[in-house]
Chains A and B, each alone.
Chain A
Amino acid sequence: QKEVEQDPGPLSVPEGAIVSLNCTYSNSAFQYFMWYRQYSRKGPELLMYTYSSGNKEDGRFTAQVDKSSKYISLFIRDSQPSDSATYLCAMSVKTSYDKVIFGPGTSLSVIP
């Protein structure tokens, strides 16, 4: 079993839909939780991060962390075709250099 699990999709939604992306993890020591977006043939770019449990909102994006269930989510409201990409959850333990472990990613297509 991998440390971080994520439904690979692909996920296809109509423009304007609310998208829910989720990850589960096994290591209870994870403290930083991140979501990256990766367009085809590009490197990952950070979307949001949270430290420990709770919610965080940034524009159309909301990240949720439930440490008791070892479950994190990313919600995208009013999805746009430009949101079509692969979304990677990532997490790390607080160490001297905060090694990051990534999920396998979910491929999202937003259809106009």
Chain B
Amino acid sequence: GAGVSQSPRYKVAKRGQDVALRCDPISGHVSLFWYQQALGQGPEFLTYFQNEAQLDKSGLPSDRFFAERPEGSVSTLKIQRTQQEDSAVYLCASRPSGGMAHEQFFGPGTRLTVL
């Protein structure tokens, strides 16, 4: 596929469960971003990877959130002990090497609902 893909598209979790959200960036894209988009809000930055290195995780809301990109391609965002306030759409975006701010491409998102 040519675009960024995310799976699952929808996830329902009971409060306290752990979840893992996957992002497949565009092939060859060095930069990868995760965002959280609450209902009626814009995307909020969570974390940034350059290849396998996590260079900025300042947006992760708590230590229950963890992201990895071990081989510099696919990334996983993990949320432990989910809470109702974690309900949101989680967006992944990738950007090519040397790309500028506007050159990030978004996936369709994973809609997480915590009951």
Residues of A at the B interface (CB closer than 8 Å) are 4, 6, 8, 32, 34, 41-46, 49, 88, 90, 92, 96-105
Collect the chain B residues with CB atoms within 8 Å of residue A102's CB. 35, 42-44
Decide: A88 near B48, CB < 8 A? Known: A32-B102, A43-B91, A44-B106: no
Interface size range on B against A: 20 to 34
Collect the chain B residues with CB atoms within 8 Å of residue A43's CB. 4, 91, 93, 106-109
Collect the chain A residues with CB atoms within 8 Å of residue B55's CB. 96-97
**Can you report 14 A-B residue pairs in the complex whose CB atoms are below 8 A from each other?**
A6-B42, A34-B101, A41-B111, A43-B4, A43-B91, A43-B93, A43-B108, A43-B109, A44-B43, A98-B101, A101-B45, A102-B35, A102-B42, A105-B42
Collect the chain B residues with CB atoms within 8 Å of residue A97's CB. 31, 48, 50, 55-56
Q: Name the CB-closest residue of A to B108.
A: A43
Minimum Cβ distance to chain A for residue B79 (Å): 19
Report the bound CA distance from A96 to B35 in whole Å: 18
The contact of B100 among A32, A42, A45, by CB within 8 Å, is A32
Report the bound CA distance from A6 to B104 in whole Å: 22
